[in-house]
Amino acid sequence: KLNIGVDIIQHGVEGLVYLLTESSKLMISEVDFQDSIDVLGFSDELNKSLLQLYLDNRKEIRSILGELAPRLPSYHSLEWRLDVQLASRSLRQQIKPAVTMKLHLNQNEDQTAQVLQTDPATLLHLIQQLEQALGEMKMNHCRRIVRNMK
């Protein structure tokens, strides 16, 4: 319909894609974007459309690019249950409390579930350690870094 060769259209599309992804990746400002495309010598109207295209789509492009980054399995949820072992083949008449858990993790769109168990003492230790971890975010050191790195 456009009466132009396939090659030219392909290059055009690739060029656009490159322009938008690089700009979104670097999160460049409007001014910088305009300066960059001015060099290309297009009409003002075209430059305006390109800028609008960039601003409209950059959030979505960034979130897609974010998916491509290397990732460890990430936490999804945790189910737990209280068990008491009453007997085993080697010993009768026990009372052995345990907490059985199912940890759901996401890895690259697959969900895995792992069954784990722990005893009451370790459970309390886990809670204490992880609460300390949470507390770190609120410490001055972290706050200062987060503030200064924007």
Partner 1 sequence: ILDDPDLKDIDPTVLKHCHAAAATCILEAGKQKADISAISACLEDCKLDKERIEQFCTEYQRRELVTVVSFSIGRSPLHITDVSWRLEYQIKNNQLHKTYQPSYLVTLNVESNDSGSHPDVSFSCTMEQLQDLVGKLKDAAKSLERATQM
Candidate ranges 3-11, 33-41, 46-54, 141-149; the one touching partner 1 (CB under 8 A): 141-149
Q: Which is nearer to partner 1, 10 or 117 (CB)?
A: 117
Residue 77 touching partner 1 (CB under 8 A):
yes
Q: Which of 3, 41, 137, 140 touches partner 1 (CB under 8 A)?
A: 137
Nearer to partner 1, 4 or 134 (CB): 134
* Burial 18-37, CB ≥16 within 10 A → b, else e: ebbbebbeeebeeeebeeeb
User: What's the CA gap between 116 and 148, in Å, rounded?
Assistant: 40
**97 near partner 1 (CB under 8 A):** yes
Query: What is the CA 62 to chain-centroid distance, rounded?
Result: 11
Burial, 138: exposed, middle or buried (Cβ in 10 Å; 0-12, 13-18, 19+)? Answer: exposed
| # residues near partner 1 by CB under 8 A | 59
Ramachandran class of 108: left when φ > 0, alpha when ψ lies in -120 to 50, beta otherwise: left
Judged by the rule CB under 8 A, the positions of this chain that interact with partner 1 are 25-27, 62, 65-66, 68-75, 77-78, 80, 82, 85, 88-94, 96-101, 103, 105, 114-120, 122-127, 129-131, 133-134, 136-137, 142, 145-146, 149-150
